[in-house]
Amino acid sequence: MSEYTLINNVRKFRFNCNEMTQQELASKAQVSRQTIVAIEKGKYSPSLELAFKIAQVFNAPLEEVFSYVIHDT
Amino acid sequence: MSYQEKKHITSIFTSLLFTVTYCMYIFQQYQNGTLDKIDSLSYWAYTVIIILSVKIGFNILVQIIFSIFHSLLSKEKQPNLVDELDNLIELKSLKYAFITFMLGFLMAMLSAANGMPMYVMFNLLILSFFAAEIVGPSSQVYYYRKGI
């Protein structure tokens, strides 16, 4: 049986953007810092719109920031 | 702990305080035998309206006091942004609060259908409202902590 997981590289991208803070990213993506924390920890899968917004902040393609991985269980 | 979590925990404690106070009052009335004597529908309808109004007013007051204390003590601004995560969590918690109230409502109707006294039905309705007021914020705290 296959299981799908949403993997994100938000932390890595923040680090590459001169250690952008979670609050800065949250302001740019027009969400609360708590939402960014939840996304980074993998506790929340963002909507497609928010995922695009975050990717735009990093000026990177969506699939580099978020990826959908299949695990075989 | 985030602002939302603190806000909802305050709300849970307010509801618990209200529920305990109400239960103590009703138990006292029950022991005195006052409840059996009241058989007027308008009395209970009036009581429900008063209790719900006071509860809502008290909730608003507590939230205002909480906001003031929170900004004074933590020097942190109250977040004025409600994003998709907040909306999703609110929707889920509303669902659980609604289910809780519906279960209470069903129990109240069953008590009436079984010929129990009127005060049982109305107290079940009031208590299910209080329970829903506890379940809603509790599930919000749970989702903020655990994630969706």
- Write the pLDDT tens digit of every residue in B13-27: 999 998 999 999 888
The verdict on B1 touching A (C-beta cutoff 8 Å) is no
The verdict on B140 touching A (C-beta cutoff 8 Å) is no
Task: Judge: A34–B81 Cβ closer than 8 Å, yes or no.
Answer: no
Residue B28 sits at φ, ψ, to 5 deg, of -65, -45
Q: Does the model's ipTM exceed the 0.85 cut? A: no
Residue positions counted in chain B? 148
Report, in angstroms and rounded to the nearest whole number, the Rg of chain A calculated over CA atoms. Answer: 12
Give the end-to-end CA distance of chain A in Å, rounded to a whole number. 6
Question: How confident is the model at residue A73, as a pLDDT?
Answer: 66
Average pLDDT value over all residues in chain B: 89
Write out pLDDT tens, residues B40-95: 788 888 888 998 899 889 889 998 998 888 888 877 666 777 889 999 999 999 99
Q: Which residues 32-71 in chain A show a CB within 8 A of chain B? A: 32, 34-35, 38, 41-47, 50
Task: Judge: A35–B84 Cβ closer than 8 Å, yes or no.
Answer: yes
CA distance A64 to B80: 31
Q: Are A35 and A22 in contact (CB under 8 A)?
A: no
Phi-psi region of B141 (alpha: psi -120 to 50; beta: other; left: phi over 0): alpha
Ranking A46-50, B14-18, B29-33 by mean pLDDT, the lowest is B29-33
